A and B are shown apart, each in its own frame.
Chain A
C-alpha cells in the first residue's frame, strides 16, 4: 500500500491578514503553518502506515516557502517528500487539482488523505476534485480511518450523526477535525527530517500544462466593519437585550 497525504502551507490561524493594493499581502504574513485539517490527515496517514507497513508520501504544491511543512511531516514519520513548485499561490483550483493528481499518480498511491478545506481558500474543492480526476472513491468529513480486509473503515459525519463506513480502494479521505491530534516530533525525528531530501517537481516535470483560469480575481477586501455593539453591565440588563432582539433586530 502506498499512502499520499496532501499538505498545504497557509497563514497561521493567528496571523493577521492585511490587504494592500486590493490583494492579500502575503509578504506581511508573520507566520505560516500547516493547514489545521491537514494535521489530522497526516496523523491518520501515519497510523495507516504503522498498521499496514506502507510507504507514506507527503505532497505539497506551492512556492518555495512551502517545503517547510514537508520537513515537518518528515519529522513525524513521512517517508518521502514531494514539492510541486509553483510561484502563483492564488492558482485556479483546477490547476492545483491536476498537479496534485499527477503527483499522486507518479508515486502510485492507492489511498490519499487530505484536509476537508484549507484555512486560506476555505474551499473544500481540492480533495473531491483530485479524487474525481483519479477515479478514486471520495469520503469527506472523516474523523478516523483504519484498514480493513480489502479496504478501509472510516468514521464520517453523516446526515444524522457519525457513521462508520467501509470504503473500497483506491480512495481519498478528506479530514474534518480528527479524534486524535497530530503527534509532536521528537528530537531524533527532527534531526532525521533535516537530512531528508525533498523531490522538487515543476508542472512540466509532471506533464501538466496549466490552463488559463476562467475565474478572474477582481479584488480582496477587508470584511465590512460591524458597527460597534452595545454593552450592558450585569444580569439585570438581560430583559433589555431580549426586547432589543425582538424590536431592534427582529430576530426573535
Chain B
C-alpha cells in the first residue's frame, strides 16, 4: 500500500512526529514516501528506518505558511494514503489535499490497523470513534500515539520543484511572549491554574520546567485572568490539546474543558490543596498540598535525578 507522509518540521529540523508517522504507516503495512515541504529535514528523514523514498519539494510558496499554496504544491506529489501530523498546520494542509484529491479525510488518529481501521477521540475525548476506510484517503495522526522506528534508513532523496500562488503574506512576526518550548511540542508539561495566585508565581513553574526540559502551560482561568500569561499557553477545549508523557497540573481544579485538552497524557500528576478537586479523578499521582509547599521540594527532587 502506497503511503505519502507530509513531513512536519520545527524551525530547520524535523519534528519527532515525522518518524512516528513512518512508524504508523509501517504498522498498517504501508510503504511510505516522505514529502519534505521546502526541502526541510530531507536528510534527516532519509535515515528513518522503513522509509522508501524522500521527495524534497522545493518552491517559493514554502517560504512562509499558506495552507492552500502548500496543498496545491504538495497534492500532485501524493499517492495512496496521505498522512500528516494532527498539528494545526498538518490538519489544515491535509484537509485541502483531501478536498483537491476528492478523498475522505480523518483527523487525529490515535490508533491505526491495516485494513484501514482508525480510532480517534471525539467530543474532546469523551468518546472514541472507530471507523474503517479504504485507500486512497487522508489521515492525520496525533503526536506520541505511535513509536518511532530506528535510524538506520538510507532512502534516496529526489528534489522536485513545485510551487503555487500565495495569498497570505507575513507582515510582522510578533515576538513570542517567551522563548520557551511550546506545550504542543513538549514531552513533559507543567501547567498552572488560578490557584497559582499571581502570574509572577509562574516563575516557580518555569524553574522546574528548566530542570526537566518541560514546557509551561496554563488553564483558561489563568490565561483570562492575567495578561502576563499568553493564550498560546492555554491547554484545553479552547486551547491546545496535548499528549505528553507527563503532565503536571498545579493549582488547576480540573474542569471538564481543561481535561478535554490533557486527559490523554500518559501520566498525570496533580498538585492541589483541595482533596476533592476533580483533577484528582484523572491523576495517576495526586498530591494534596499547596503549591507553595510542594513545588520547592519537587524542584529539588527533580534536580537530584
- Chain A residues close to B by CB (< 8 Å): 11, 13-14, 16-17, 19, 24, 36-37, 92-94, 97, 116-117, 119-129, 131-133, 136-141, 143, 153, 157-168, 171, 174, 176-177, 179, 213-224, 226, 229-239, 241-242, 244-246, 249, 251-252
Contacts and interface: CB of A to CB of B under 8 A. Distances in A.
Interface string B173-204: 11111000000000010000000000000000
Contacts of A153: 171
Contacts of B175: 161
Interface of B: 10-11, 65-68, 71, 88-89, 91-96, 98-100, 102, 104-108, 117, 120-134, 137, 167-177, 188, 212, 231-232, 234, 237-239, 245-246, 256-257, 260, 263, 266-269, 275, 280, 282-290, 293-294, 297-298, 301-302, 305
Contact of B67 (A138, A163, A230, A236): A138
B128 A215 contact: no
Contacts of B290: 235
Contacts of B298: 238, 242
Given A119-B124, A122-B123, A132-B99, A215 B88 contact: no
A160 B25 CA distance: 29
Contact of A221 (B127, B266, B268, B305): B127
A165 B171 contact: yes
Contacts of B100: 132
B107 A128 contact: no
A230 B285 contact: yes
A177 B123 contact: no
A174 B88 CA distance: 11
A252 B302 contact: yes
B177 A237 contact: no
B104 A214 contact: yes
Contact of A223 (B10, B95, B125): B125
A246 B285 CA distance: 12
A163 B174 contact: yes
Identify whether the interface residues of A are mostly helix, strand, loop, or mixed. mixed
A119 B96 contact: no
B245 A251 contact: yes
Contacts of A97: 99
A92 B138 CA distance: 13
Given A92-B104, A252-B188, A138 B68 contact: yes
Contact of A230 (B99, B177, B286): B286
A132 B95 contact: yes
B131 A128 contact: no
Contact of A245 (B65, B105, B267): B267
A11 B123 contact: yes
A101 to B, nearest CB: 9
